[in-house]
Amino acid sequence: MSRSTSTRRAPILAIYATVVFAFIYLPIVVLILYSFNRDGVGGFPPSHLTLDWYRQLFTDGPIWDSVLNSLLVASGAVALSLTVGLLAALALDRASFPGKALFRRLVLLPLILPGIITGLSLLMFVVLSGAQLSLFTVFLGHGTALISVATTELFAGLQKSDRAQEEASLDLGATPWQTFWRITLPNLRLALVAAGLLIFTLSMDEIAVTFFLIGRDNTLPLEIWGRLRRGITPEINAVSTLVFAVSVVLIIVWYRIRMRSVGTEAQQLPERP
């Protein structure tokens, strides 16, 4: 028997993997480094490290307004997509109805299609319905597009949970309603928290769909986007650094919880919208 293949050394491959990691992380490291650079976003080497850009950022009203808007939209999107996504996951897991296969594909479509198509379709819908573009339309867009993520994540959670408990509850005389609140939902607790965190992060960062549904009030990514056209300063690096840090923390927490709720199958992640 040969040695276990996962421990064999492969120096050239290891170097190649290091280079790929460098490619993935170098831009982010550079971005963070230059958020402390007094003399602007370019040039080499960075000199005169300073916290001035962060000071400027903390007194920048429009940025914090947009952060608040993003938080509102993301919280709403989490609530909406988890509610519809939970029902959709239950339906896919337990019910059979005409067009089920089509429904499954349709729900997942926003994950796979370019954001511009989902964004423009929803824009046409909003215009047709006579509504004004606003944070509400952005919330509607995020919530609807992210049902895809909620459904895949919660479906995985349902497949993992123990159906026998529900059967026992129903056999022992609990109503389906009681069974749902006392068995189904508590069993899905971790999956719900994990999906919620992921959806929150994705909504906070979303730009392609938002681009077409935004009204007068900007979300944070759209505010940053607007500033990129007016000449850039390390203040953008500073806000990007904070966005990055918050996202990383949320994603790590999400991953840990997900490992506990769906185990090693956590490695089969849903695709990013």
Out of 51, 68, 106, 185, point to the residue binding other proteins (CB under 8 A).
106
Out of 73, 78, 122, 188, point to the residue binding other proteins (CB under 8 A).
122
Query: 228 to 257, contacts with other proteins by CB under 8 A?
Result: 228, 232, 236-237, 240, 243-244, 247-248, 251-252, 255
Out of 28, 49, 68, 131, point to the residue binding other proteins (CB under 8 A).
28
- Least Å distance between CB 107 and other proteins? 6
Q: What is the 3-state secondary structure (H, E, C) of 155-219?
A: HHHHHHCCHHHHHHHHHCCCCHHHHHHHHHHHHCHHHHHHHHHHHHHHHHHCCCCHHHHCCCCCC
Q: At 166, list the tokens.
A: 């529900």
- Least Å distance between CB 198 and other proteins? 7
Query: 184 to 223, contacts with other proteins by CB under 8 A?
Result: 198, 201-202, 205, 207-208, 211-212, 221
The residue among 119 and 190 lying less far from other proteins, judged by its C-beta, is 119
Mutual orientation of helices 135-145 and 147-160 as an angle, nearest 10°?
A: 40
Between the alpha carbon of residue 10 and those of residues 15, 20, 196, 260, the distances in Å are 9, 15, 39, 32
Out of 142, 161, 166, 257, point to the residue binding other proteins (CB under 8 A).
166
- Least Å distance between CB 31 and other proteins? 4
State the burial class of residue 267 (Cβ atoms within 10 Å of its Cβ: 0-12, 13-18, 19+).
Answer: exposed
